Amino acid sequence: MFKKNKEDFDCLNCNHKVIGSGYTNHCPKCLHSLHIDIYPGDRSAYCKGMMVPLHIFYEGGMFYIMHKCVKCGIEKKNKTSDKDDLENYFKTLEAEK
């Protein structure tokens, strides 16, 4: 069950000011997120760990980001947004090689 939450937040990874749409769950600049939901939008996860982007993949006609929590290790997929800076993400990956 999805619960829409329109929340603005400052990214804890890169400090980017994120303007929420009600469906926003990650920073569009660095693609990091927080482990705050058990089900999308419920804000009921106790962990609150940083979710790092592992990779981006295409499935069922959509692009997704696979996130992994650095605190508890859970992995979750999240839809990309048209506001996501995917070009910057891929440049960062290339620079890390």
pLDDT digits (tens, 9 = 90+) for 17-65: 998 776 688 999 999 999 988 888 778 888 999 999 999 999 999 999 9
Task: Give the residue from 40, 48, 37 showing the smallest Cα distance to 4.
Answer: 40
Cα 55 from Cα 73, distance rounded (Å)? 15
Question: What ranges do the domains of the chain cover?
Answer: 9-96
- Give the confidence band of 1 by pLDDT, cuts at 50, 70, 90: low
- Closest residue by Cα to residue 78 from 19, 28, 18: 28
- Tell me what pLDDT residue 97 has: 62
